[in-house]
Amino acid sequence: MLQCIFLLSDSGEVLLEKQLTGHRVDRAICDWFWDQILTQGESLKLVPVIASPTHYLFQVVREGITFLACTQVEMPPLMAIEFLCRVADVLSNYLDGLNEDVIKDNFVIVYELLDEMIDNGFPLTTEPNILREMIAPPNIVSKVLSVVTGSTSNVSNTLPGATASCVPWRKTDLKHATNEVYVDLVEEMDATINSFVLPGFSVFLSLFLHYSGQLCSGSPVCIDGHPKQLANVFYLYSLSCSDLSPLLILLLLRDGNLVKCEIYGEVEVNSNLSGLPDLTLSFANPLIFNDVRFHPCVRLRPWEANQILSFVPPDGQFTLMSYRVKKLKSTPIYVKPQFTSDSGTCRVSVLVGIRNDPGKSIDNIAVQFKLPPCVKSSDLSSNYGSVNVLADKTCSWTIGRMPKDKAPSMSGTLVLESGMDRLHVFPTFKVGFRIMGVALSGLKIDKLDLKNPLSRPHKGFRALTKGGEFEVRS
């Protein structure tokens, strides 16, 4: 079980410590941890489980704040990580985001929350709705009150009724003036795209050409060219050498661009319903789901039988289910990077455009990539949007809404380190976008029914698709 939780700022300062068991953990562990971060670099920040000489550490980093938990004994590591994530969620929900200041300002609430969330290293109450009833979130009214009167208590005097009920995620006696329930489909598109000229492809081909050049005493051909050209070269090679492995044919025939394209989606519900409502939600095409995951309130039997979601919702905003739809065939936008090197400089051009019009406008488009370490200086400009190169060689191109009349493009030159002739590592482009009103997976909600309606609720549906892990390799 967890022994201690520390909150660290992004400069390694210990913001808070909360001892959980009798096995006290000294703060020195944080110094050790931070030393490791400093010596091993930021990559350690991404390692969730670290074995220090005295303790096992679990860390979750959220918006610069490191949540560090310690234990000395065997326990499920995912439990610790999941719990820390939950703490981070609850805190950022309570405090409207996370940063060093906001935690310092509300340290009492953080302590009180942690005390309710975990006891003796075992999670106690983690349901956000219940926590809200036990400890009031800081809001403007209470802050003003506390300035005026000098005293407010944010600790509730009574135990939330839900802790005793059979529906532990919901208050027992809820009254809402407006009965309404909103369902949002929020989808993220994860895609990996190889841009048109595959560098890996060229490795293979050039290898063969090189080889054939050696063996058939022909001269090696330079192959930074167009695929058609490559195909020709390859054809020549196949004439000279008869034992083509089937693999290479596959390479050529492969359509290629879309390595992976899938949707990760969440069904988010905002329910403001009185009493104990029993809802059922059904989809028009439930078979497209590849994987699903449900909020604890969902009854699993109806889903197993008929793919119907039957549940008593918690009050307010929550994620009812998350799902994945795999093997999508196309992406809404394309990004085409091109690099041509020539004696120490490299010409870059990146084109962005709409491939399959989703029917709604695409906005919040942003392209981000990291210049290779061998680049000395860069000069990049775009015909639309703004380009920004940071000190750590991160280049971000913010486009915003896709213009109707022209295709945005960015171009410029990169100057390589002296001695480098041409670029031989290429960056990966991360692409962000947003499309309102469309669920690109094609998921359709059929209907939402309320079993025990006190009054007819107002129902609403929305959809949204964002770019998730959308990557274009050059």
CB of 409 to another protein, least distance (A): 22
Interaction between residue 236 and another protein (CB under 8 A): no
CB of 455 to another protein, least distance (A): 25
Nearer to another protein by Cβ, of 32 and 294: the residue is 294
Site residues (CB under 8 A) for another protein, limited to 330-349: none
- Taking CB under 8 A as the binding criterion, the range among 93-101, 274-282, 377-385, 443-451 that sits at the site for another protein is 93-101
For the sheet with 375-382, list strands across it: 333-342, 345-354, 409-416, 375-382
Interaction between residue 14 and another protein (CB under 8 A): yes
* Residue from 430, 431, 441, 448 binding another protein (CB under 8 A): 430
Kindly list the distances between the CA atom of residue 72 and the CA atoms of 67, 123, 390, in Å, as whole numbers in the listed order: 17, 17, 41
Element (H, E) at 271: strand 258-272
Site string for another protein, 97-116 (x = CB under 8 A): x---xx-xxxxx--xx--x-
* Residue from 11, 53, 164, 404 binding another protein (CB under 8 A): 164
* Contact in structure between 133 and 278 (CB atoms under 8 Å): no
Site residues (CB under 8 A) for another protein, limited to 241-260: 245, 247-248, 250-251, 254, 259-260
Site string for another protein, 174-193 (x = CB under 8 A): ----------------x-x-
For the sheet with 56-62, list strands across it: 14-19, 4-8, 65-71, 56-62, 49-51
Any residues with CB less than 8 A from the CB of 291 and at least 6 apart, and which? 323, 324
Interaction between residue 81 and another protein (CB under 8 A): yes
Interaction between residue 401 and another protein (CB under 8 A): no
Nearer to another protein by Cβ, of 216 and 454: the residue is 216
Interaction between residue 316 and another protein (CB under 8 A): no
* Residue from 131, 230, 350, 420 binding another protein (CB under 8 A): 420
SS3 content of the chain, % helix, strand, coil (to 5): 25, 35, 35
CB of 241 to another protein, least distance (A): 11
Q: How far is it, in rounded angstroms, from Cα 394 to Cα 380?
A: 12
Nearer to another protein by Cβ, of 10 and 381: the residue is 10
Interaction between residue 172 and another protein (CB under 8 A): no
Size of the site for another protein (CB under 8 A): 129
Q: How far is it, in rounded angstroms, from Cα 94 to Cα 108?
A: 12
φ, ψ (nearest 5 deg) of residue 152: -145, 155
Maximum CA extent, the chain: 93
* Residue from 32, 34, 196, 426 binding another protein (CB under 8 A): 426
Q: How far is it, in rounded angstroms, from Cα 266 to Cα 30?
A: 36
Any residues with CB less than 8 A from the CB of 404 and at least 6 apart, and which? none
Interaction between residue 32 and another protein (CB under 8 A): no
Q: How far is it, in rounded angstroms, from Cα 59 to Cα 23?
A: 19
Local structure of 62: helix, strand or coil = strand
* Residue from 4, 60, 189, 414 binding another protein (CB under 8 A): 60
Site residues (CB under 8 A) for another protein, limited to 118-147: 119-120, 122-124, 126, 138, 140, 142-144, 146-147
Instruction: Give the dihedral sign, CA 87/93/99/104.
Output: negative
CB of 413 to another protein, least distance (A): 19
CB of 349 to another protein, least distance (A): 19
